[in-house]
Chains A and B, each alone.
Chain A
């Protein structure tokens, strides 16, 4: 008797869930966390859906994970920001087109007390050297995200390779938001994308320490998947979205998105940085 009741309940629940998920046309966009956490996609995608009737399911992951998701065939389109990992993905023949849609920049944020005395400087590599020399706490994403890759490139240029043996170097293996939460709680420095930083609410004593270094540029690319390797992906809908992102309308939507009056992403489809 109990079983029949629970089965009936199950049928009802599944029907409810199914009716909720039965959208006409949809695609899975594997994206970096920054474009989702900063609110950009939530702001611009409804316009795309209203125009095309295609709903976009955003799975926000670090760039490394997002690329891996696409490689497995679990995403229909990629929106990421790690030039090296993207080049590798294209070299493998996984992607068909790769187009830049926007750029912003990375910044080094740190405690207002500034124990490494880097606040207000522009040279990101010199700043990392100063942080290492001062053994000031530094939070690393440690999650193969685009920001993590950018951070490791900067350490490499600095000729340093801090690891777990250094107590001041704290690899948290988490999202940008988790890294900012951790940096805020530990009075540590960290590398952040500007979009997430501007929309982040728990900054505590953190302030921008280093900005304006050309090496800190952060490019966002949309990558369509190769039809041979990803036959079951929804490539037609994916192409509609990719084309919209680089179109005049999509670019205007990206450029118009602001948090507290500040523009988070600079559209750059016409003039890639």
Chain B
């Protein structure tokens, strides 16, 4: 049972860390893409949206080659560690969060942008303001990012190596159980994974509901 809780803990820890990194990039970037006008912005937005569908196994492979001892980042000694898995998942989640935040911010900026600028805010100062306006959409964006990371197997098995007690997550454990013919055990693990996703989503929405009510009191 200790091994099982370790696997669940690692899955959640890695996914949360990756989602946090992706959010730290995606939230300001998504808003900035909506607020700052610059040449090539359209192209960047198209690219970010295209990376929505980045194949995890490709991200895993490229990262594997980069982190390999014979690769450019080999000196970091990160291959087959949880840190490598966090990086892979952050790369996968960042475009999702960026694109969703951008979409929401674009609408908010169209509506409130002039007002904010008239109040004397610079474009950079407008970023947190816009993010505050679209806070409900941010939750969806971050949850979508988390969903991508916690359910992913192709990238983490390549850069993590599915090492027992070190880099074995729920998804790689399910893959392993399946290949050992332990289908009922694999299915049980799958059910736990789905359960965890649902509870995290429910918790976040409950918290968000509370936050929104508190926010509406102020207006």
Determine the chain B residues whose CB is within 8 A of the CB of A7 once the complex forms: 20, 24
Given A17-B14, A21-B166, A73 and B20 touching (CB < 8 A)?
A: no
CA of A20 to CA of B167, assembled, Å: 10
Determine the chain B residues whose CB is within 8 A of the CB of A18 once the complex forms: 83
Interface of B is mostly: helix
Query: What is the chain B residue whose CB lies nearest that of A178?
Result: B179
In the complex, whether A3 has a CB less than 8 A from a CB of chain B is yes
A 1-21 binary contact with B (CB < 8 Å = 1; else 0): 111001101100110111011
Residues facing B in A199-234 (CB within 8 A) are: 199-203, 232-233
Given A3-B24, A42-B164, A73-B68, A17 and B86 touching (CB < 8 A)?
A: yes
Residues facing B in A26-67 (CB within 8 A) are: 28, 33, 37, 42, 55, 57-60
Interface residues on chain A, size class: 35 or more
Given A1-B128, A57-B80, A201 and B182 touching (CB < 8 A)?
A: yes
CB pair B180 A199 closer than 8 Å = yes
Residues facing A in B67-90 (CB within 8 A) are: 68-71, 74, 79-83, 86
CB pair A57 B161 closer than 8 Å = yes
CB pair A232 B69 closer than 8 Å = yes
CB pair B164 A72 closer than 8 Å = no
Determine the chain B residues whose CB is within 8 A of the CB of A16 once the complex forms: 9, 13
Contact of A10 among B17, B70, B162, B181 (CB under 8 A): B17
Determine the chain B residues whose CB is within 8 A of the CB of A201 once the complex forms: 180-183
Determine the chain A residues whose CB is within 8 A of the CB of B24 once the complex forms: 3, 6-7, 10
CB pair A17 B83 closer than 8 Å = yes
CB pair A72 B183 closer than 8 Å = no
Contact of B80 among A3, A14, A59, A203 (CB under 8 A): A59
Query: What is the chain A residue whose CB lies nearest that of B163?
Result: A57
CB pair A21 B178 closer than 8 Å = no
Query: What is the chain A residue whose CB lies nearest that of B16?
Result: A13
In the complex, whether A94 has a CB less than 8 A from a CB of chain B is no
Nearest Cβ on chain B to A14's Cβ, whole angstroms: 6
In the complex, whether B91 has a CB less than 8 A from a CB of chain A is no
Determine the chain A residues whose CB is within 8 A of the CB of B138 once the complex forms: 2
CA of A233 to CA of B83, assembled, Å: 19
In the complex, whether A123 has a CB less than 8 A from a CB of chain B is no
Residues of B within 8 A of A (CB): 6, 9-10, 13-14, 16-17, 20-21, 23-24, 27-28, 68-71, 74, 79-83, 86, 128, 131, 138, 161-167, 176, 178-183
Residues of A within 8 A of B (CB): 1-3, 6-7, 9-10, 13-14, 16-18, 20-21, 28, 33, 37, 42, 55, 57-60, 72-74, 174-178, 180-181, 184, 199-203, 232-233
A-B CB proximity, top 9 nearest: A177-B179, A202-B181, A73-B69, A13-B17, A59-B161, A201-B181, A10-B20, A200-B181, A17-B82
6 A-B contact pairs sorted by A residue (CB < 8 Å): A9-B16, A10-B17, A57-B166, A176-B179, A177-B178, A201-B183
- 8 further contact pairs, Cβ within 8 A, besides A3-B23, A14-B83: A6-B24, A10-B24, A33-B179, A59-B162, A74-B68, A177-B179, A181-B178, A181-B179
